[in-house]
Chains A and B, each alone.
Chain A
């Protein structure tokens, strides 16, 4: 059985419209006008147990709305969703025991108390007995490296420490399906990497299914082999991350270290110039021209070193969102 099955899922919000100024306010008071916003438009996909899938899209694309429908917080306007075999909006106890939703910008821990107290509440809510609670606490705190922070008031923790204990609280009941909305938002590079490593371990240890949104492409490249790309509420791409790169960025970055400077006019014969800094040159070369171009570069120019790399994924995705995708 698939962990997540989504068929033709749509969500339309009704939003009140108000003109600015006194007249607009009076009109709004006596006669409200509304408009419909289609946040998600007929998306379909299936995710198997143990898969880690990246959910990509610019702000307002419909990612969070879709995640909320998958967790049962939002009722879909049309379409069907099955998560772990349940209809999320029924919010049955058995379903809630199997999922978790972590939102990077929202917290569930009690602000003024040590995180341990929030964990105790969660243990009671999810019916985890005392010995099992202790065992899970030790396991998760050692995986996340936060054992020393559990007894400090949450408000005294750094952003990174807080996110780690948030994750701990959200995973205490050992859910098999994780919905993570920007779990590394605002964290420094080290904390981001620690959270990623933890998620990788959790997925491997419990064969957990993870659906992850993030604006940090490093999260996606480190964790997800498959991505879903959503734009203006529509699912534009569902497939391997590698294929996305091949399909939308069919070029390579060639970096040259030359023994003597060469004019840009000459360099432009080999590919698109990305940068020239002294004798270091970066060229963008189409994939199908790569081999003959490298041969010509080595033959024609005084090359000290030459490297070929895949282009960074961030600009690719950025360009993709800007231009839209023909699916």
Chain B
């Protein structure tokens, strides 16, 4: 147990130091994932113009929550893994008594810590631009709304369950590096349903029923929409059910991942490592 902690602490702290080296890049990466903020502006305009089941405050609050969820569930492991395999840099990791997945996971968690100050800055900026997001409702602009501690705790659990699902999914797709040169093309392909079904461009409540019914059979709504609605206390999926679904998907991807890791490694070593 002591060694697990020691390894985790060291991997996290050294990766954090690496991420701090990329502080300028971090700012750009974060801005590149600000789609929910852009979409929020568009949807608020739509709310002002016509009939809508959510008011301006709810829309602003949802997209702020979606932005926060994305910031702490960003996964890029497929790009890194592809590079390691193509460059032959996976080999040194294979000669150490630690599965490389822990290094990749550590890098992601450390990056989140390094990203946090920039996220806080963006949230402040967001509230200055859209003060309505922190009002109880559009009719009561002076009454402040803050999520309850239960909502915050629930959202943290949901966000990290979502992060694990996305990580397990992407790391499983990354195993394709052992067979094809550009497994990132798979990620690019999956990015389309992710964008449309996850709740980044609109809360799923606004989707037609048929689309929503299909969407909830995929992992996508659970990785953004579900944690965001937990944070703003508007979740239509019960908390325990949502987390269980995320963990179920994670388990499935982990099983697939371990299978493809073993088969892929054998192929990697057969081809020349």
Contacts and interface: CB of A to CB of B under 8 A. Distances in A.
Given A68-B273, A106-B89, A113-B21, A73 B14 contact: no
B271 A93 contact: no
- Which 6 pairs from chain A and chain B are nearest by CB? A124-B10, A93-B97, A108-B92, A73-B273, A112-B21, A124-B7
Contacts of B272: 13, 65, 68, 74
A117 B14 contact: yes
B269 A74 contact: yes
Contacts of B89: 106
Interface string A86-122: 0001010100110111000010101011000110111
20 contacts: A13-B270, A14-B271, A68-B91, A72-B269, A73-B94, A73-B95, A75-B266, A96-B95, A96-B97, A97-B97, A99-B95, A101-B92, A106-B89, A108-B92, A112-B18, A117-B14, A120-B14, A121-B10, A122-B96, A125-B7
Interface of A: 13-14, 65, 68, 71-75, 89, 91, 93, 96-97, 99-101, 106, 108, 110, 112-113, 117-118, 120-127
Query: Which of A89, A112, A122, A123 lies at the interface centre, i.e. has the most chain B CB atoms within 10 A of its CB?
Result: A112
B77 interface: no
A285 B270 CA distance: 49
Given A113-B14, A121-B10, A121-B14, A74 B92 contact: no
B273 A124 contact: no
A130 to B, nearest CB: 9
Contacts of A112: 18, 21-22
A123 B3 contact: no
B252 interface: no
A294 B24 CA distance: 74
Nearest to B87: A106
Nearest to A13: B272
A65 to B, nearest CB: 8
Interface string B133-159: 000000000000000000000000000
Given A13-B272, A65-B272, A96-B95, 9 more contacts: A68-B273, A93-B97, A106-B91, A110-B14, A113-B21, A117-B17, A118-B14, A124-B7, A127-B6
Nearest to B103: A121
A126 B18 contact: no
A89 B269 CA distance: 9
